[in-house]
Structure 1
Amino acid sequence: MAPNKTKKNKNKKKKGRYGVAELKTLGNDLLSSASNINNLPLLLKFVTPSSPPHHLLESLLSLHSFFLPLLPTLPSSSRASDAKGAQDQSQFIYNTWLRSKFDELVKSLVEVLSSPRQQQEEEEAVKEVVLDTLMEFVKVANGGRFHSAIYHRFLHSIVHSESSVEFLVDLLAAKYFKYIDVRYFTLISLKKLATTLEGKDPSDDKSENADGADASQLSSSTERVIHNIYYTISRVPPPGNSDNTSDLEMWSRSENENKQPSGDVNADDKQLKPDKHDNNVLSAAKIAKKMKLKFTQAWLSFLRLPLPLDVYKEVLVNLHQAVIPHLSNPVMLCDFLTRSYDIGGVVSVMALSSLFILMTQHGLEYPNFYEKLYVLLAPSIFMAKHRARFFQLLDSCLKSPLLPAYLAASFAKKMSRLLLSVPPAGALVITALIHNILRRHPSINCLVHREDEVVEGKDEATAANSEDAKVSASQKSGIDHFNYGEPNPKKSNAMRSSLWEINTILQHYCPPVSRFALSLENDLTVRAKTSEVNVGDFSSGSYATIIGAEMSRRVKQVPLAFHKSTPSTLFSDTDFPGWTFYYKETSEITHGSDESADKDDQNSGKRQRVE
């Protein structure tokens, strides 16, 4: 152990003797003459994550200039045995040694990119130069073709990095994702990384982990890798129009060269094996034809992973806009989306957008869609972050004229019941939704006003003349047959109920709510002169929007806090149909008191107000 420590200390001392000027001299000597080849290993020692930035950049500049013209002549690892018999022994050994040093340089560059540095400014400057150098090697190190092995190693280091990768991925996206071949091999590599990660955790239950309930059981390293994969794949531009020449720009130069392609066929491009003798196999046109397929495969492989809850929600929010329109077959997402929709709560609300697109545009059949949508109607939905999109989709889902009457009645009645517990902004959007449902489905207009029912099971004439019928009718007044807690809209008895809750908001404490309900009161009687309400105008409302609208509103008449005429009763007879208010006798209230108190009560009056 002692000799090894001594050797390491000597290397550190030797490394510390060199400054930027000395490294520049070593690089110039290496480039000027092959006799100074021993400077190569020395310069490689400074390309490490722990090296000072100026030393690293000076060494990298010399190494980049040295290796760039030699790369087409260096043998690959897979061709070493064949090249040994074809070349001179000494020249082959020299080239093999150079190849090993180049591989060492690539490994060091990947380590620098994936390792954090002490100062943020130094980290960004160094990583930008190192990334440019590495991508230059990717461009020319495979005989003019895209070197997918080096690029895959680089993406592997990004995905498994323990530090933040946002700056590096954003830099890669800004400078290189505009090239179609870079996007193509990025999707291939991310698919392989996601598939490998999925194979490491075969015991994970995708359906349980999908909703984030078991996300805490994921190891921190696995969760970090999933975050990095998502951050990278979400920055890859989707497949564009193949006719647009700006989308077909290549980073490699294989389409303009007539060189025979090298025999190094990596695992990343196995799909290109049948055409490995075709010089134009990596042309932009052929890549463009396969981009949509690779985009689909990469996303499907990622969605099979046990996503953490925060990643899961972000995926569902962006899926319908950033992913579904660019898939080769969007119906392949039906399992993922239906599983998400069955979870309930906020996750179901987020999955509704993508599922609605599959149902309306791609012919997906989901028999329990409306039952699940009915369950989502709860007071908590009016505080959700993405409630605006949910209400607009809810209005679209209830627009079909083929919707059964019981289903339309159930949705209208449940939303009507929610009027009693939601914030004012929620009351506005509910009123608009109910108004649209009543206009689209005239068969449920009976819910607007329903007379008291007579006794069931008896003839009407007999029941009208019997005292029992009168008592029963008075007892049944005010009874709502709607079952709010029933999750199945078919069993909710909504068709036997009425929308009495809407009448309550005519006296709502928030003036915009009562005014809006009053303005829609006559819409159902004059259908020809009115139209449906745009739910989008109310779906994103809040207390702030209501207060802002009220403050900017011009008030013509100020409400006063007194009655124009003195009220004779606290409640009128029409306020509570079916209820009777009466005063109790004084003797019933003061039963058991002494005789003097009874005399005083009899002298004071026959009735007494009950507090």
Structure 2
Amino acid sequence: MPSVVVDRKKRQRTATEYIVPKKKRTTEPRSGKTSQAPEPTPRSIIELEQQISSSTEYYNNLVYLIEYLNSSDSQIALLAATSLFRSFARMLAAGLLNKPIPSSVALAQETVTSWLRDRYKDFKSKLIFLLNDKNAENAFTSLTILVRLVKEESNYLAPTKGEYYFPKALVRRILYALLNQSDDELLLEFVEKYVNKYDDLRYYFLHFSGLLANDAQTNLSDAQKTNFTANLLSALYAIENFPTEDEHLNEFWVELSKKSKQPVTKLSAQKAAFQDSWLAVLRLPLTVDQYKYILQIMHNKIVPYMSKPQTLMDFLTDSYDAGGSTSLLALNALFSLMQKFNLDYPNFYMKLYALLDRNVMHVKYRSRFFRLLDLFLSSTHLPALLVASFIKRLSRLAISAPPSAIVIVIPFIYNLLKRHNSCNVLLQRTNWIDEEIAKEFDRSDPFIANESDPMKSRALDSSLWELATLQSHYHPNVATLAKIMSEPFHKPAYNIEDFMDHSYNTMLDAEFTKNIRNPPAVEFELPKTLFESGNEGEQAYLEGWDLF
């Protein structure tokens, strides 16, 4: 009968040290009960497993199988892991791994159970270690077995029979190992196969990832934190099908009773876990690219699934105040919070006005910015002074902007003028040079270009002479588009989306594919020389000239 292993020093133990001492026998032990591990082969592994299930006298075979997990032969390690899983699953189902109550069982049985529980812990530790195995098959198999053990433990290790039990400690160990790996391949496999499919696994993943992220602040080195952050962000990006109603929470890895009121069954708890995880990530050191990508997806992949999105207000305000492309990316989520939760950002339009500089015409987020700007200026209740300042500054920027940006600005201004009729004076003022203003400001245009407050720029006293200038632009598409400002405003508003994604490449492609009614005259006989050489019949580029 097995007894407790006495030696508990923290050192590498051999297979024979795991062997449970046996009582002395008067007869010879049967074949297979030796303390020496048999040669690891697929057949011997199956035989060891069968012996374990046949009699308690063969429980020592667990030690051999655990040792085989260290084998350099991938096939042996995988077979040993699978056999151990089946063996321990049978023991769990039989109640052999339940924590013994000393007063209710014999001392010998308590000793056996304690020894089996120790071997089960060894097995789980080996599987956790194998998650980092260079052999991908070993790592994926270990992950699969560990997740299966989560289900088995929940079914058979509950403190009270029939009570809901989720093995949180095991899940936390799995997540810690996955989040600290050098790459995210196995972690993304876990998210795709389990987190995105099972509501309880998603909840505990979010719950523990937030706790582990908080611990990472103090327990990990800078390099480890960088790796941890990258892995966790990859996992959070990969989460899909987040529920929006309590009724959507109906798929669980661990079985629930119909009347269970566990947090995993409540949308509010799921959102709270999601929020805690993201807030913990935002406290970690982020690279510039990570920071910008989070801002880019925040309005549609983060804010809608948080229990209290208002907690992001400080983060978004700081991002909006940072300037440059960071401010552009923070706009969407910030405006969503202001609109949905009636939050206030002082001088929002003043800051928005400050973002209108030459750089905005060249950044890769230009289309995104103009979509948002169109949204922010859509209200007909905005002051005419404010709207006129935006129109005037856009017109001024268009003069030095690339053609791909100008073709956005002109329809954009046209729509603003259609929407805000009080600004049409900017077009109607043909004799816009005011001598008094020119004398006062020592210039002919009253618009104060360097004024930070759009309400004080005097744009409404000016004119859109910049658009008249664009009617003579070198690019024919720009010149033609600018001429709409000289025509009556009978056309409906433009669909800005039709102009958003233009670039030099798209404009060149349009020219190359354009149907030409009258082909231009071209030189089809190529001259052979630049100057005349005197040879009869020889054609030169410059006739009448020769070299001496």
Deviation per CA, 1:475-496: give whole Å up to 9, x if none: 9997233333333323433233
Inter-partner Cα distance in structure 2 for 1:187 and 1:194: 10
Matches within 5 A, 1:367-382: 367-382=346-361
Partner of 1:185: 204
Inter-partner Cα distance in structure 2 for 1:24 and 1:233: 40
Could you tell me which runs of 5 or more consecutive residues in structure 2 were left unpaired when the two chains were aligned. Answer: 1-9, 18-35, 157-164, 523-548
Quote the offset at 1:225 in angstroms.
0.8
- Which residue among 312, 315, 321 is the counterpart of 1:342? 321
Matches within 5 A, 1:169-180: 169-180=188-199
Question: What amino acid is aligned across from residue 476 of structure 2 in structure 1?
Answer: P
Deviation per CA, 1:326-364: give whole Å up to 9, x if none: 222322221121111111111111111111222223322
Question: What amino acid is aligned across from residue 503 of structure 1 in structure 2?
Answer: A
Partner of 2:331: 352
Q: Judging changes above 3 Å, is the alpha-carbon distance between structure 1 residues 299 and 452 closer, same or farther for their aligned structure 2 residues?
A: closer
Scaled by the length of structure 1, the TM-score of the pair is 0.72
Inter-partner Cα distance in structure 2 for 1:559 and 1:532: 36
Deviation per CA, 1:352-401: give whole Å up to 9, x if none: 11112222233222122112211222222233222222111111111112
Partner of 2:83: 62
Partner of 1:150: 170
Contact 1:180/1:287 (<8 A) preserved: no
Inter-partner Cα distance in structure 1 for 2:298 and 2:385: 33
Matches within 5 A, 1:82-231: 83-113=101-131, 115-117=132-134, 122-123=135-136, 125-143=137-155, 145-161=165-181, 163-198=182-217, 219-231=222-234
Contact 1:505/1:514 (<8 A) preserved: yes
Contact 1:146/1:252 (<8 A) preserved: yes
Quote the offset at 1:559 in angstroms.
8.3
Contact 2:66/2:123 (<8 A) preserved: yes
Partner of 1:237: 240
Partner of 1:251: 253
Inter-partner Cα distance in structure 2 for 1:353 and 1:558: 48
Quote the offset at 1:509 in angstroms.
1.2
Q: Judging changes above 3 Å, is the alpha-carbon distance between structure 1 residues 556 and 484 closer, same or farther for their aligned structure 2 residues?
A: farther
Partner of 2:46: 24
Inter-partner Cα distance in structure 2 for 1:511 and 1:249: 59
Q: Judging changes above 3 Å, is the alpha-carbon distance between structure 1 residues 333 and 156 closer, same or farther for their aligned structure 2 residues?
A: same
Quote the offset at 1:418 in angstroms.
1.1
Is 1:497 aligned with 2:481? Answer: no
Quote the offset at 1:445 in angstroms.
2.4
Inter-partner Cα distance in structure 2 for 1:483 and 1:74: 84
Aligned length: 485
Contact 2:394/2:409 (<8 A) preserved: yes
Question: What amino acid is aligned across from residue 46 of structure 2 in structure 1?
Answer: K
Question: What amino acid is aligned across from residue 255 of structure 2 in structure 1?
Answer: R
Quote the offset at 1:197 in angstroms.
2.6
Quote the offset at 1:169 in angstroms.
1.9
Contact 2:295/2:329 (<8 A) preserved: yes
- Which residue among 487, 509, 516 is the counterpart of 2:481? 516
Quote the offset at 1:287 in angstroms.
3.9
Inter-partner Cα distance in structure 2 for 1:560 and 1:396: 48
Question: What amino acid is aligned across from residue 85 of structure 1 in structure 2?
Answer: S
The SS at the match of 1:84 is coil
Inter-partner Cα distance in structure 1 for 2:205 and 2:388: 51
Q: Judging changes above 3 Å, is the alpha-carbon distance between structure 1 residues 6 and 329 closer, same or farther for their aligned structure 2 residues?
A: closer
Partner of 2:5: none
- Which residue among 548, 563, 566 is the counterpart of 2:509? 548
What root-mean-square deviation, in Å, do the aligned CA atoms of Structure 1 and Structure 2 show? 3.2
Question: What amino acid is aligned across from residue 313 of structure 1 in structure 2?
Answer: K
Quote the offset at 1:517 in angstroms.
1.3
Inter-partner Cα distance in structure 1 for 2:15 and 2:260: 52
- Which residue among 22, 40, 46 is the counterpart of 2:68? 46
Partner of 2:540: none
Quote the offset at 1:229 in angstroms.
1.3
Scaled by the length of structure 2, the TM-score of the pair is 0.80
Question: What amino acid is aligned across from residue 304 of structure 1 in structure 2?
Answer: R
Inter-partner Cα distance in structure 2 for 1:446 and 1:287: 57
Inter-partner Cα distance in structure 2 for 1:56 and 1:8: 17
Partner of 2:20: none
Contact 2:432/2:463 (<8 A) preserved: no
Q: Judging changes above 3 Å, is the alpha-carbon distance between structure 1 residues 378 and 184 closer, same or farther for their aligned structure 2 residues?
A: same
Quote the offset at 1:16 in angstroms.
10
Question: What amino acid is aligned across from residue 133 of structure 1 in structure 2?
Answer: I
- Which residue among 428, 436, 452 is the counterpart of 1:456? 436
Contact 1:152/1:189 (<8 A) preserved: yes
- Which residue among 473, 483, 492 is the counterpart of 2:448? 483
Inter-partner Cα distance in structure 1 for 2:450 and 2:518: 43
* Higher RCO, 1 vs 2 (CA within 8 Å, ≥6 residues apart): 1
Inter-partner Cα distance in structure 2 for 1:6 and 1:310: 43
The SS at the match of 1:536 is helix
The SS at the match of 1:255 is coil
Partner of 1:418: 397
Inter-partner Cα distance in structure 2 for 1:5 and 1:151: 26
The SS at the match of 1:451 is coil
Inter-partner Cα distance in structure 2 for 1:57 and 1:6: 22
Q: Judging changes above 3 Å, is the alpha-carbon distance between structure 1 residues 281 and 455 closer, same or farther for their aligned structure 2 residues?
A: closer
Inter-partner Cα distance in structure 1 for 2:311 and 2:250: 27
Matches within 5 A, 1:540-579: 540-556=501-517
Quote the offset at 1:415 in angstroms.
0.9
Is 1:389 aligned with 2:371? Answer: no
Partner of 1:580: none
Could you tell me which runs of 5 or more consecutive residues in structure 1 were left unpaired when the two chains were aligned. Answer: 202-217, 257-278, 458-471, 562-611
Quote the offset at 1:157 in angstroms.
0.9
Partner of 1:208: none
Contact 2:191/2:239 (<8 A) preserved: no
Quote the offset at 1:192 in angstroms.
0.9
Q: Judging changes above 3 Å, is the alpha-carbon distance between structure 1 residues 32 and 196 closer, same or farther for their aligned structure 2 residues?
A: same
Inter-partner Cα distance in structure 2 for 1:230 and 1:141: 29
Inter-partner Cα distance in structure 2 for 1:219 and 1:560: 67
Inter-partner Cα distance in structure 1 for 2:311 and 2:263: 29
Partner of 1:398: 377
Question: What amino acid is aligned across from residue 249 of structure 1 in structure 2?
Answer: E
Which piece of structure 1 moves more, 428-437 or 447-456?
447-456
Inter-partner Cα distance in structure 2 for 1:116 and 1:342: 45
Question: What amino acid is aligned across from residue 105 of structure 2 in structure 1?
Answer: Q
Quote the offset at 1:447 in angstroms.
2.2
Inter-partner Cα distance in structure 2 for 1:159 and 1:347: 28
Quote the offset at 1:548 in angstroms.
2.1
The SS at the match of 1:337 is helix
Contact 2:403/2:475 (<8 A) preserved: yes
Question: What amino acid is aligned across from residue 54 of structure 1 in structure 2?
Answer: Q
Contact 2:434/2:444 (<8 A) preserved: no
Inter-partner Cα distance in structure 2 for 1:360 and 1:128: 45
Quote the offset at 1:198 in angstroms.
3.9
Question: What amino acid is aligned across from residue 500 of structure 2 in structure 1?
Answer: S
The SS at the match of 1:481 is coil
Inter-partner Cα distance in structure 2 for 1:559 and 1:356: 52
